[in-house]
Amino acid sequence: MAKVAKKNTLKLKFDSARNLAPAPESKRAAKIDPQYDLFINGKFEKPVSKKYFATINPATEEKLSMIAEANTADVNKAVKSARTAYDKTWKKMPPAERAKYIYRIARMIQERAREFAIIETLDGGKPIRESRDFDVPTAANHFFYYAGWADKLEYAFPNRKTEPLGVAGQIIPWNFPLLMAAWKIAPALACGNTVVLKPAENTSLTALKLAEIIQEADLPPGVVNIITGAGATGAAIVNHADINKIAFTGSTEVGKIIQRAIAGTNKKATLELGGKAANIIFDDAPLDQAVEGVINGIFFNQGHVCCAGSRLYVQESVFAAVVRKLKDRLETLIVGDPMDKNTDIGAINSKAQLDIINKYIKIGQQEGAEMYQSSCAIPKKGFYCRPTIFTNVAQSNRIAQEEIFGPVLAIQSFRTDDEVIEKANNSPYGLSAGVWTDKGSKIFNLTTKLRAGVIWANTFNKFDPTSPFGGYKESGYGREGGLHGLSAYINLIK
Protein backbone atom coordinates (compact mmCIF):
# COMPACT_ATOMS: atom_id res chain seq x y z
CA MET A 1 0.00 0.00 0.00
CA ALA A 2 1.15 3.50 -0.68
CA LYS A 3 1.78 5.47 2.41
CA VAL A 4 0.25 8.90 2.32
CA ALA A 5 3.02 11.48 2.39
CA LYS A 6 3.34 13.90 5.31
CA LYS A 7 -0.07 14.67 6.75
CA ASN A 8 -1.28 17.82 5.06
CA THR A 9 -4.39 19.20 6.71
CA LEU A 10 -5.23 21.89 4.17
CA LYS A 11 -8.76 21.45 2.94
CA LEU A 12 -10.88 23.25 0.40
CA LYS A 13 -14.59 23.79 1.11
CA PHE A 14 -17.23 23.05 -1.48
CA ASP A 15 -20.59 23.23 0.30
CA SER A 16 -21.85 26.23 -1.66
CA ALA A 17 -20.84 24.61 -4.95
CA ARG A 18 -23.33 21.83 -4.22
CA ASN A 19 -26.15 24.00 -2.97
CA LEU A 20 -27.56 25.58 -6.09
CA ALA A 21 -31.17 26.72 -6.41
CA PRO A 22 -33.33 23.92 -7.88
CA ALA A 23 -33.42 23.80 -11.69
CA PRO A 24 -35.89 21.01 -12.39
CA GLU A 25 -36.81 19.79 -15.85
CA SER A 26 -40.60 19.75 -16.33
CA LYS A 27 -42.37 16.40 -16.01
CA ARG A 28 -45.24 17.72 -18.05
CA ALA A 29 -43.21 17.75 -21.24
CA ALA A 30 -43.56 13.96 -21.40
CA LYS A 31 -46.70 11.86 -21.52
CA ILE A 32 -46.74 8.54 -19.68
CA ASP A 33 -49.87 6.39 -20.08
CA PRO A 34 -51.28 4.67 -16.99
CA GLN A 35 -50.86 1.29 -18.71
CA TYR A 36 -48.77 -0.16 -21.53
CA ASP A 37 -49.51 -3.25 -23.60
CA LEU A 38 -47.26 -5.43 -25.72
CA PHE A 39 -46.15 -4.16 -29.13
CA ILE A 40 -46.70 -7.07 -31.48
CA ASN A 41 -47.21 -7.01 -35.22
CA GLY A 42 -47.36 -3.21 -35.36
CA LYS A 43 -50.10 -2.91 -32.75
CA PHE A 44 -50.30 -2.56 -29.00
CA GLU A 45 -51.98 -5.73 -27.79
CA LYS A 46 -53.23 -6.82 -24.39
CA PRO A 47 -51.10 -9.67 -23.03
CA VAL A 48 -52.49 -13.20 -23.20
CA SER A 49 -51.20 -13.51 -19.65
CA LYS A 50 -53.64 -10.74 -18.60
CA LYS A 51 -50.95 -9.71 -16.12
CA TYR A 52 -49.41 -6.31 -15.52
CA PHE A 53 -46.70 -5.14 -13.17
CA ALA A 54 -45.88 -1.69 -11.84
CA THR A 55 -42.88 0.36 -12.86
CA ILE A 56 -41.70 2.97 -10.38
CA ASN A 57 -39.59 6.09 -10.30
CA PRO A 58 -36.55 5.08 -8.23
CA ALA A 59 -35.97 8.70 -7.22
CA THR A 60 -39.33 8.98 -5.45
CA GLU A 61 -40.60 5.37 -5.24
CA GLU A 62 -43.83 6.56 -6.90
CA LYS A 63 -45.60 4.37 -9.43
CA LEU A 64 -45.26 5.62 -13.00
CA SER A 65 -47.30 3.11 -14.99
CA MET A 66 -48.42 -0.49 -15.33
CA ILE A 67 -46.53 -2.69 -17.79
CA ALA A 68 -47.81 -5.86 -19.47
CA GLU A 69 -46.10 -9.11 -18.54
CA ALA A 70 -45.61 -11.34 -21.56
CA ASN A 71 -45.86 -15.10 -21.02
CA THR A 72 -44.85 -17.91 -23.37
CA ALA A 73 -48.00 -17.50 -25.46
CA ASP A 74 -47.23 -13.80 -25.92
CA VAL A 75 -43.64 -14.57 -26.87
CA ASN A 76 -44.94 -17.11 -29.41
CA LYS A 77 -47.16 -14.45 -30.94
CA ALA A 78 -44.31 -11.96 -31.14
CA VAL A 79 -41.90 -14.45 -32.70
CA LYS A 80 -44.53 -15.57 -35.17
CA SER A 81 -45.19 -12.01 -36.26
CA ALA A 82 -41.45 -11.37 -36.58
CA ARG A 83 -41.06 -14.54 -38.68
CA THR A 84 -43.94 -13.58 -40.98
CA ALA A 85 -42.62 -10.05 -41.39
CA TYR A 86 -39.17 -11.45 -42.17
CA ASP A 87 -40.38 -13.90 -44.80
CA LYS A 88 -43.02 -11.77 -46.42
CA THR A 89 -41.61 -8.24 -46.26
CA TRP A 90 -38.35 -7.31 -44.67
CA LYS A 91 -35.81 -9.67 -46.22
CA LYS A 92 -37.25 -9.02 -49.67
CA MET A 93 -37.27 -5.26 -49.34
CA PRO A 94 -34.53 -3.42 -51.25
CA PRO A 95 -31.88 -2.39 -48.71
CA ALA A 96 -32.18 1.31 -49.58
CA GLU A 97 -35.87 1.10 -48.64
CA ARG A 98 -35.01 -0.50 -45.32
CA ALA A 99 -32.59 2.36 -44.74
CA LYS A 100 -35.35 4.91 -45.20
CA TYR A 101 -37.31 3.44 -42.31
CA ILE A 102 -34.26 3.39 -40.06
CA TYR A 103 -33.43 7.01 -40.90
CA ARG A 104 -37.02 7.92 -40.13
CA ILE A 105 -36.81 6.32 -36.69
CA ALA A 106 -33.56 8.21 -36.02
CA ARG A 107 -35.12 11.54 -36.97
CA MET A 108 -38.21 10.90 -34.89
CA ILE A 109 -36.08 10.14 -31.83
CA GLN A 110 -34.37 13.47 -32.35
CA GLU A 111 -37.67 15.27 -32.71
CA ARG A 112 -38.94 13.79 -29.47
CA ALA A 113 -35.59 13.88 -27.70
CA ARG A 114 -36.81 15.91 -24.75
CA GLU A 115 -39.70 13.54 -24.08
CA PHE A 116 -37.40 10.51 -24.27
CA ALA A 117 -34.88 12.12 -21.94
CA ILE A 118 -37.51 12.94 -19.33
CA ILE A 119 -39.02 9.46 -19.39
CA GLU A 120 -35.61 7.80 -19.27
CA THR A 121 -34.78 9.81 -16.17
CA LEU A 122 -38.14 9.27 -14.47
CA ASP A 123 -38.10 5.53 -15.07
CA GLY A 124 -34.42 4.79 -14.48
CA GLY A 125 -33.18 7.44 -12.05
CA LYS A 126 -30.31 8.71 -14.18
CA PRO A 127 -29.61 12.46 -14.18
CA ILE A 128 -31.51 14.42 -16.81
CA ARG A 129 -28.21 15.92 -17.97
CA GLU A 130 -27.03 12.45 -18.97
CA SER A 131 -30.24 11.28 -20.63
CA ARG A 132 -30.49 14.60 -22.48
CA ASP A 133 -26.83 14.90 -23.52
CA PHE A 134 -25.83 11.28 -23.85
CA ASP A 135 -28.47 8.53 -23.93
CA VAL A 136 -30.96 10.01 -26.35
CA PRO A 137 -28.59 11.66 -28.87
CA THR A 138 -26.35 8.57 -28.93
CA ALA A 139 -29.39 6.35 -29.51
CA ALA A 140 -30.44 8.49 -32.48
CA ASN A 141 -26.87 8.37 -33.79
CA HIS A 142 -26.90 4.58 -33.77
CA PHE A 143 -29.97 4.52 -35.96
CA PHE A 144 -28.45 7.10 -38.32
CA TYR A 145 -25.19 5.18 -38.52
CA TYR A 146 -26.68 1.77 -39.26
CA ALA A 147 -29.25 3.22 -41.64
CA GLY A 148 -26.26 4.22 -43.74
CA TRP A 149 -24.93 0.65 -43.87
CA ALA A 150 -28.20 -0.99 -44.98
CA ASP A 151 -27.51 -0.64 -48.71
CA LYS A 152 -23.73 -0.84 -48.44
CA LEU A 153 -23.21 -4.29 -46.95
CA GLU A 154 -21.31 -5.38 -50.05
CA TYR A 155 -18.70 -2.75 -49.17
CA ALA A 156 -18.62 -3.77 -45.53
CA PHE A 157 -17.78 -7.33 -46.62
CA PRO A 158 -15.94 -6.94 -49.92
CA ASN A 159 -16.23 -9.79 -52.41
CA ARG A 160 -18.65 -11.65 -50.15
CA LYS A 161 -22.39 -11.98 -50.24
CA THR A 162 -24.41 -11.55 -47.09
CA GLU A 163 -27.77 -12.72 -45.91
CA PRO A 164 -29.68 -11.79 -42.78
CA LEU A 165 -29.98 -14.30 -39.96
CA GLY A 166 -33.77 -14.17 -39.59
CA VAL A 167 -35.50 -13.39 -36.31
CA ALA A 168 -33.36 -11.86 -33.58
CA GLY A 169 -34.35 -12.16 -29.92
CA GLN A 170 -32.87 -9.25 -28.03
CA ILE A 171 -32.76 -8.81 -24.28
CA ILE A 172 -31.48 -5.57 -22.86
CA PRO A 173 -30.56 -4.24 -19.41
CA TRP A 174 -31.84 -1.41 -17.25
CA ASN A 175 -28.83 0.85 -17.23
CA PHE A 176 -29.20 2.43 -20.69
CA PRO A 177 -32.71 1.35 -21.73
CA LEU A 178 -33.20 3.39 -24.90
CA LEU A 179 -29.58 3.33 -25.96
CA MET A 180 -29.33 -0.45 -25.63
CA ALA A 181 -32.53 -0.83 -27.63
CA ALA A 182 -30.92 1.29 -30.35
CA TRP A 183 -27.68 -0.71 -30.22
CA LYS A 184 -29.68 -3.88 -30.75
CA ILE A 185 -32.43 -2.86 -33.15
CA ALA A 186 -30.49 -0.61 -35.56
CA PRO A 187 -27.89 -3.12 -36.86
CA ALA A 188 -30.43 -5.96 -36.88
CA LEU A 189 -32.80 -4.01 -39.13
CA ALA A 190 -30.02 -2.66 -41.35
CA CYS A 191 -28.88 -6.21 -42.07
CA GLY A 192 -32.43 -7.33 -42.88
CA ASN A 193 -33.42 -9.17 -39.70
CA THR A 194 -36.63 -8.78 -37.77
CA VAL A 195 -36.67 -8.32 -34.03
CA VAL A 196 -38.31 -9.38 -30.78
CA LEU A 197 -36.94 -7.11 -28.10
CA LYS A 198 -37.46 -7.29 -24.36
CA PRO A 199 -36.43 -4.36 -22.19
CA ALA A 200 -35.58 -4.88 -18.52
CA GLU A 201 -38.64 -4.99 -16.28
CA ASN A 202 -37.54 -1.93 -14.27
CA THR A 203 -37.14 0.27 -17.29
CA SER A 204 -39.60 -0.60 -20.04
CA LEU A 205 -40.99 2.86 -20.74
CA THR A 206 -38.58 4.30 -23.30
CA ALA A 207 -38.61 1.05 -25.27
CA LEU A 208 -42.40 1.30 -25.38
CA LYS A 209 -42.11 4.95 -26.47
CA LEU A 210 -39.77 3.73 -29.16
CA ALA A 211 -42.51 1.28 -30.16
CA GLU A 212 -44.84 4.26 -30.61
CA ILE A 213 -42.28 5.88 -32.90
CA ILE A 214 -41.84 2.65 -34.85
CA GLN A 215 -45.60 2.54 -35.30
CA GLU A 216 -45.74 6.16 -36.46
CA ALA A 217 -42.77 5.58 -38.77
CA ASP A 218 -44.98 3.02 -40.51
CA LEU A 219 -42.41 0.27 -40.24
CA PRO A 220 -44.03 -2.86 -41.71
CA PRO A 221 -45.93 -4.69 -38.93
CA GLY A 222 -43.93 -7.38 -37.17
CA VAL A 223 -40.48 -6.14 -38.15
CA VAL A 224 -39.94 -4.89 -34.61
CA ASN A 225 -41.89 -6.40 -31.71
CA ILE A 226 -41.34 -5.09 -28.22
CA ILE A 227 -42.58 -7.24 -25.39
CA THR A 228 -42.18 -6.60 -21.72
CA GLY A 229 -41.67 -8.81 -18.69
CA ALA A 230 -39.04 -10.17 -16.34
CA GLY A 231 -36.69 -13.15 -16.43
CA ALA A 232 -39.33 -15.72 -17.43
CA THR A 233 -40.23 -13.69 -20.51
CA GLY A 234 -36.56 -13.49 -21.42
CA ALA A 235 -36.18 -17.24 -20.97
CA ALA A 236 -39.14 -17.86 -23.28
CA ILE A 237 -37.42 -15.77 -25.97
CA VAL A 238 -34.08 -17.53 -25.50
CA ASN A 239 -35.71 -20.95 -25.66
CA HIS A 240 -38.01 -20.24 -28.59
CA ALA A 241 -37.28 -22.65 -31.42
CA ASP A 242 -37.91 -20.16 -34.21
CA ILE A 243 -35.36 -17.59 -33.14
CA ASN A 244 -32.10 -17.45 -35.07
CA LYS A 245 -30.06 -15.15 -32.93
CA ILE A 246 -29.89 -14.04 -29.31
CA ALA A 247 -28.37 -10.70 -28.48
CA PHE A 248 -28.07 -10.15 -24.76
CA THR A 249 -26.64 -7.39 -22.62
CA GLY A 250 -26.72 -7.95 -18.89
CA SER A 251 -25.08 -9.87 -16.09
CA THR A 252 -22.47 -12.57 -16.57
CA GLU A 253 -24.65 -14.88 -14.49
CA VAL A 254 -27.59 -14.65 -16.91
CA GLY A 255 -25.18 -14.73 -19.84
CA LYS A 256 -23.98 -18.14 -18.70
CA ILE A 257 -27.58 -19.39 -18.40
CA ILE A 258 -28.27 -18.23 -21.95
CA GLN A 259 -25.16 -19.88 -23.26
CA ARG A 260 -26.20 -23.16 -21.65
CA ALA A 261 -29.73 -22.84 -23.00
CA ILE A 262 -28.69 -22.32 -26.62
CA ALA A 263 -25.93 -24.92 -26.60
CA GLY A 264 -26.62 -27.49 -29.29
CA THR A 265 -29.03 -25.24 -31.17
CA ASN A 266 -28.37 -23.29 -34.35
CA LYS A 267 -28.86 -19.98 -32.59
CA LYS A 268 -26.13 -17.42 -32.91
CA ALA A 269 -25.39 -15.22 -29.95
CA THR A 270 -23.67 -12.09 -28.88
CA LEU A 271 -23.30 -11.52 -25.17
CA GLU A 272 -22.23 -8.27 -23.60
CA LEU A 273 -21.81 -8.97 -19.91
CA GLY A 274 -20.23 -7.62 -16.77
CA GLY A 275 -16.96 -5.84 -16.21
CA LYS A 276 -14.48 -4.62 -13.63
CA ALA A 277 -12.45 -2.19 -15.68
CA ALA A 278 -8.99 -1.08 -14.64
CA ASN A 279 -8.28 2.63 -14.94
CA ILE A 280 -4.54 3.16 -14.77
CA ILE A 281 -2.85 6.46 -13.89
CA PHE A 282 0.88 6.78 -14.49
CA ASP A 283 2.98 9.44 -12.79
CA ASP A 284 3.46 11.35 -16.04
CA ALA A 285 -0.28 11.65 -16.65
CA PRO A 286 -2.15 14.95 -16.78
CA LEU A 287 -3.39 14.39 -13.24
CA ASP A 288 -6.34 16.76 -13.10
CA GLN A 289 -7.75 15.41 -16.34
CA ALA A 290 -7.07 11.86 -15.21
CA VAL A 291 -9.02 12.51 -12.03
CA GLU A 292 -11.88 13.86 -14.09
CA GLY A 293 -11.71 10.74 -16.24
CA VAL A 294 -11.82 8.55 -13.15
CA ILE A 295 -14.88 10.45 -11.94
CA ASN A 296 -16.60 9.99 -15.30
CA GLY A 297 -15.43 6.42 -15.39
CA ILE A 298 -17.02 5.32 -12.14
CA PHE A 299 -19.80 7.81 -11.38
CA PHE A 300 -21.34 8.11 -14.85
CA ASN A 301 -24.89 6.77 -14.58
CA GLN A 302 -24.38 6.07 -10.82
CA GLY A 303 -21.79 3.49 -11.79
CA HIS A 304 -24.44 1.35 -13.49
CA VAL A 305 -22.18 0.87 -16.47
CA CYS A 306 -20.74 -2.48 -17.48
CA CYS A 307 -17.55 -0.79 -18.67
CA ALA A 308 -17.29 1.46 -15.57
CA GLY A 309 -13.72 2.06 -14.43
CA SER A 310 -14.32 0.50 -11.03
CA ARG A 311 -10.72 -0.46 -10.29
CA LEU A 312 -8.29 2.43 -10.13
CA TYR A 313 -4.54 1.81 -10.24
CA VAL A 314 -2.36 4.79 -9.39
CA GLN A 315 1.42 4.84 -9.64
CA GLU A 316 2.74 5.17 -6.13
CA SER A 317 4.66 8.42 -6.66
CA VAL A 318 1.45 10.31 -7.44
CA PHE A 319 -0.89 8.25 -5.27
CA ALA A 320 -1.40 10.83 -2.51
CA ALA A 321 -1.90 13.68 -4.98
CA VAL A 322 -4.45 11.73 -7.00
CA VAL A 323 -6.41 10.60 -3.96
CA ARG A 324 -6.57 14.15 -2.63
CA LYS A 325 -7.79 15.46 -5.99
CA LEU A 326 -10.35 12.69 -6.16
CA LYS A 327 -11.69 13.52 -2.71
CA ASP A 328 -11.99 17.20 -3.61
CA ARG A 329 -13.80 16.34 -6.82
CA LEU A 330 -16.10 13.96 -4.96
CA GLU A 331 -17.19 16.85 -2.75
CA THR A 332 -18.35 18.89 -5.73
CA LEU A 333 -20.60 16.17 -7.17
CA ILE A 334 -24.26 17.03 -6.80
CA VAL A 335 -26.26 14.00 -5.69
CA GLY A 336 -30.05 14.11 -5.69
CA ASP A 337 -33.17 14.60 -7.79
CA PRO A 338 -32.34 13.17 -11.22
CA MET A 339 -34.75 15.63 -12.84
CA ASP A 340 -32.69 18.59 -11.63
CA LYS A 341 -30.47 19.83 -14.45
CA ASN A 342 -27.57 20.25 -12.02
CA THR A 343 -27.61 16.73 -10.67
CA ASP A 344 -24.43 14.74 -11.34
CA ILE A 345 -25.44 11.52 -9.60
CA GLY A 346 -29.09 10.50 -9.61
CA ALA A 347 -30.96 7.60 -8.03
CA ILE A 348 -29.85 3.99 -7.91
CA ASN A 349 -32.04 2.11 -10.35
CA SER A 350 -33.82 -0.14 -7.84
CA LYS A 351 -34.02 -1.11 -4.20
CA ALA A 352 -32.48 -4.48 -5.07
CA GLN A 353 -29.47 -2.83 -6.68
CA LEU A 354 -29.05 -0.42 -3.78
CA ASP A 355 -28.97 -3.38 -1.41
CA ILE A 356 -26.23 -5.01 -3.48
CA ILE A 357 -24.17 -1.82 -3.48
CA ASN A 358 -24.59 -1.34 0.27
CA LYS A 359 -23.61 -4.95 0.80
CA TYR A 360 -20.33 -4.36 -1.03
CA ILE A 361 -19.68 -1.10 0.84
CA LYS A 362 -19.97 -3.09 4.05
CA ILE A 363 -17.74 -5.86 2.71
CA GLY A 364 -15.12 -3.29 1.74
CA GLN A 365 -15.04 -1.90 5.26
CA GLN A 366 -14.92 -5.37 6.80
CA GLU A 367 -12.02 -6.26 4.54
CA GLY A 368 -10.11 -3.38 6.07
CA ALA A 369 -10.22 -0.97 3.16
CA GLU A 370 -10.45 2.72 4.00
CA MET A 371 -13.70 4.28 2.86
CA TYR A 372 -14.26 7.90 1.88
CA GLN A 373 -17.69 9.20 0.92
CA SER A 374 -18.77 12.65 -0.17
CA SER A 375 -20.14 14.67 2.74
CA CYS A 376 -23.24 15.55 0.68
CA ALA A 377 -26.76 14.99 1.98
CA ILE A 378 -28.95 12.51 0.11
CA PRO A 379 -32.75 12.59 -0.24
CA LYS A 380 -34.70 10.62 2.37
CA LYS A 381 -37.08 9.04 -0.12
CA GLY A 382 -35.88 7.09 -3.13
CA PHE A 383 -32.80 4.96 -3.65
CA TYR A 384 -29.56 6.90 -3.28
CA CYS A 385 -25.93 6.12 -2.61
CA ARG A 386 -23.16 8.61 -1.84
CA PRO A 387 -20.22 8.46 -4.22
CA THR A 388 -17.73 6.20 -2.48
CA ILE A 389 -14.03 5.50 -2.85
CA PHE A 390 -11.95 2.89 -1.09
CA THR A 391 -8.20 3.18 -0.55
CA ASN A 392 -5.95 0.66 1.16
CA VAL A 393 -7.33 -1.98 -1.19
CA ALA A 394 -5.58 -5.13 -2.36
CA GLN A 395 -6.22 -7.27 -5.39
CA SER A 396 -7.52 -10.00 -3.07
CA ASN A 397 -10.34 -7.80 -1.70
CA ARG A 398 -13.79 -8.67 -3.01
CA ILE A 399 -14.49 -5.01 -3.81
CA ALA A 400 -11.54 -5.18 -6.22
CA GLN A 401 -12.67 -8.41 -7.87
CA GLU A 402 -16.45 -8.42 -8.14
CA GLU A 403 -18.66 -6.17 -10.21
CA ILE A 404 -20.56 -3.84 -7.87
CA PHE A 405 -22.44 -1.89 -10.55
CA GLY A 406 -22.69 1.20 -8.38
CA PRO A 407 -20.80 4.39 -7.48
CA VAL A 408 -18.01 2.57 -5.64
CA LEU A 409 -14.37 2.82 -6.62
CA ALA A 410 -11.55 0.57 -5.37
CA ILE A 411 -8.14 2.26 -5.51
CA GLN A 412 -4.82 0.43 -5.48
CA SER A 413 -1.26 1.65 -5.93
CA PHE A 414 1.29 0.13 -8.30
CA ARG A 415 4.97 0.62 -9.01
CA THR A 416 5.94 -0.65 -12.44
CA ASP A 417 4.33 -1.05 -15.85
CA ASP A 418 4.56 -4.83 -15.79
CA GLU A 419 3.01 -5.00 -12.35
CA VAL A 420 -0.01 -2.96 -13.35
CA ILE A 421 -0.54 -4.87 -16.57
CA GLU A 422 -0.53 -8.13 -14.63
CA LYS A 423 -2.93 -6.79 -12.02
CA ALA A 424 -5.27 -5.19 -14.53
CA ASN A 425 -5.52 -8.49 -16.39
CA ASN A 426 -5.97 -10.42 -13.17
CA SER A 427 -9.77 -10.44 -13.41
CA PRO A 428 -12.37 -12.77 -14.87
CA TYR A 429 -13.69 -9.77 -16.78
CA GLY A 430 -12.24 -7.92 -19.74
CA LEU A 431 -14.63 -5.36 -21.09
CA SER A 432 -12.75 -2.09 -20.91
CA ALA A 433 -9.71 -0.34 -19.48
CA GLY A 434 -8.26 3.15 -19.27
CA VAL A 435 -4.68 4.36 -19.50
CA TRP A 436 -3.53 7.81 -18.42
CA THR A 437 -0.06 8.91 -19.43
CA ASP A 438 1.54 11.67 -21.47
CA LYS A 439 3.73 9.12 -23.22
CA GLY A 440 2.45 7.67 -26.48
CA SER A 441 4.73 4.64 -26.44
CA LYS A 442 3.43 3.64 -23.03
CA ILE A 443 -0.13 3.85 -24.31
CA PHE A 444 0.64 1.49 -27.17
CA ASN A 445 2.55 -0.88 -24.93
CA LEU A 446 -0.41 -1.16 -22.58
CA THR A 447 -3.14 -1.34 -25.17
CA THR A 448 -1.49 -4.36 -26.77
CA LYS A 449 -1.13 -6.12 -23.44
CA LEU A 450 -4.35 -5.35 -21.62
CA ARG A 451 -6.97 -8.03 -22.22
CA ALA A 452 -10.01 -5.82 -22.65
CA GLY A 453 -12.35 -5.12 -25.53
CA VAL A 454 -12.19 -1.35 -25.30
CA ILE A 455 -9.19 0.59 -24.05
CA TRP A 456 -9.41 4.31 -23.64
CA ALA A 457 -6.27 6.43 -23.52
CA ASN A 458 -6.43 9.73 -21.63
CA THR A 459 -10.20 9.59 -21.64
CA PHE A 460 -12.90 7.20 -20.45
CA ASN A 461 -16.46 6.15 -21.22
CA LYS A 462 -16.50 7.55 -24.74
CA PHE A 463 -18.96 5.93 -27.11
CA ASP A 464 -19.53 6.31 -30.80
CA PRO A 465 -21.69 4.27 -33.17
CA THR A 466 -18.73 3.78 -35.50
CA SER A 467 -16.65 2.14 -32.79
CA PRO A 468 -17.05 -1.53 -31.86
CA PHE A 469 -17.77 -2.48 -28.27
CA GLY A 470 -17.56 -5.83 -26.54
CA GLY A 471 -15.60 -7.96 -24.14
CA TYR A 472 -12.95 -10.57 -23.49
CA LYS A 473 -13.31 -13.47 -21.08
CA GLU A 474 -16.43 -13.36 -18.88
CA SER A 475 -17.38 -9.97 -20.27
CA GLY A 476 -18.90 -11.78 -23.22
CA TYR A 477 -18.30 -12.17 -26.93
CA GLY A 478 -19.34 -10.56 -30.15
CA ARG A 479 -19.07 -6.89 -30.96
CA GLU A 480 -21.68 -4.18 -31.20
CA GLY A 481 -21.21 -0.93 -33.04
CA GLY A 482 -19.17 -0.09 -36.09
CA LEU A 483 -18.49 -2.47 -38.95
CA HIS A 484 -17.98 -5.27 -36.45
CA GLY A 485 -21.54 -4.81 -35.25
CA LEU A 486 -22.82 -5.78 -38.69
CA SER A 487 -21.11 -9.20 -38.55
CA ALA A 488 -23.30 -10.12 -35.61
CA TYR A 489 -26.44 -9.93 -37.78
CA ILE A 490 -25.44 -11.54 -41.07
CA ASN A 491 -24.32 -14.82 -42.52
CA LEU A 492 -21.54 -14.62 -45.05
CA ILE A 493 -22.43 -16.79 -48.00
CA LYS A 494 -20.05 -17.49 -50.88
CB nearer other proteins, residue 85 or residue 290:
290
8 is a site residue for other proteins (CB under 8 A):
yes
- Shortest Å, Cβ 8 to other proteins: 7
Q: If binding is defined by CB under 8 A, does position 377 make contact with other proteins?
A: no
| Active site members | 272, 306
Selected from 1, 17, 73, 492, the binder of other proteins by CB under 8 A is 17
Min dist. Cβ of residue 474 to other proteins (A): 31
129 binds other proteins (CB under 8 A): yes
For other proteins, the closer CB: 3 or 50: 3
Scanning 47-55, 90-98, 182-190, 278-286 for contacts with other proteins by CB under 8 A, the matching segment is 278-286
Nearest alpha carbon to residue 221 among 383, 85, 364: 85
Q: Shortest approach of other proteins to residue 396 CB, angstroms? A: 32
Nearest to 201 by CA among 235, 167, 224: 235
Pairing, β 388-391 against β 370-373:
antiparallel
Q: Please report, as residue ranges, which positions from 132 to 151 form the binding site for other proteins (by CB under 8 A).
A: 133
For other proteins, which stretch binds (CB under 8 A), given 21-29, 176-184, 219-227, 268-276? 21-29
When binding is defined by CB under 8 A, the residue of 458, 463, 483, 491 that contacts other proteins is 458
Does 441 contact other proteins by CB under 8 A? no
CB neighbours of residue 362 within 10 Å: 11
CA 110 distance to own-chain centroid: 20
Binding residues for other proteins restricted to 202-231, rule: CB under 8 A = none
Using CB under 8 A, pick the residue from 3, 6, 7, 21 that binds other proteins: 21
- CB of residue 341 to other proteins, shortest distance in Å: 4
Closer to other proteins by Cβ: residue 27 or 362: 27
When asked if residue 114 is in the footprint of other proteins (CB under 8 A), the reply is no
- Half-sphere exposure for 61 (CA within 13 Å, toward CB): 8
C-beta closer to other proteins: residue 16 or 448? 16
CA pair distance 399, 393, nearest whole angstrom? 8
Residue 96, judged by CB atoms within 10 A of its CB (0-12, 13-18, 19+), counts as exposed
The piece of 8-16, 69-77, 232-240, 377-385 that touches other proteins (CB under 8 A) is: 8-16
Return the residues of window 65-94 that contact other proteins according to CB under 8 A. Answer: none
Q: Site mask, other proteins, residues 412-431, x = CB under 8 A?
A: --------------------
Q: If DSSP states are collapsed to H, E and C, what string results for the chain?
A: CCCCCCCCCCCCCCHHHHCCCCCECCHHHCCCCCEECEEECCEEECCCCCCEEEEEECCCCEEEEEEECCCHHHHHHHHHHHHHHHHHHHCCCCHHHHHHHHHHHHHHHHHCHHHHHHHHHHHHCCCHHHHHHHHHHHHHHHHHHHHHHCCCHHHHCCCCEEEECCEEEEECCCCCHHHHHHHHHHHHHHCCCEEEEECCCCCCHHHHHHHHHHHHCCCCCCCEEECCCCHHHHHHHHHCCCCCEEEEECCHHHHHHHHHHHCCCCCEEEEECCCCCEEEECCCCCHHHHHHHHHHHHHHHHHCCCCCCCEEEEEHHHHHHHHHHHHHHHHHCCECCCCECCCCECCCCCHHHHHHHHHHHHHHHHCCCEEEECCCCCCCCCCCCCCEEEECCCCCCHHHHCCCCCCEEEEEEECCHHHHHHHHHCCCEECEEEEECCCHHHHHHHHHHCCCCEEEECCCCCCCCCCCECCEECCEECCECHHHHHHCCEEEEC
Q: Which stretch binds other proteins (CB under 8 A): 61-69, 180-188, 284-292, 471-479?
A: 284-292
Q: Which is nearer to other proteins, 26 or 159 (CB)?
A: 26
Interactions with other proteins, residue window 295-354 (CB under 8 A)? 324, 328, 332, 341-342
**Residue 438 interacting with other proteins (CB under 8 A):** yes
Cβ proximity to other proteins, 12 vs 73, nearer residue: 12
In the bound state with other proteins, the residue whose beta carbon lies nearer, of 28 and 494, is 28
* Piece of the chain touching other proteins by CB under 8 A; list 10-18, 218-226, 300-308, 416-424: 10-18
Q: Which residues pair with 167 in a beta bridge?
A: 194
Q: Can you tell me which of 33, 292, 367, 370 binds other proteins, judged by CB under 8 A?
A: 292
Least distance to other proteins from the beta carbon of 134, Å?
A: 12
293 interacts with other proteins by CB under 8 A: yes
Nearer to other proteins, 14 or 157 (CB): 14
Residue 47 CB, shortest distance to other proteins, in Å, is 41
Binding segment for other proteins (CB under 8 A), chosen from 39-47, 86-94, 151-159, 280-288, is 280-288
What residues line the site for other proteins (CB under 8 A)? 8, 10, 12-17, 20-23, 129, 133, 284-290, 292-293, 324, 328, 332, 341-342, 438, 458-459
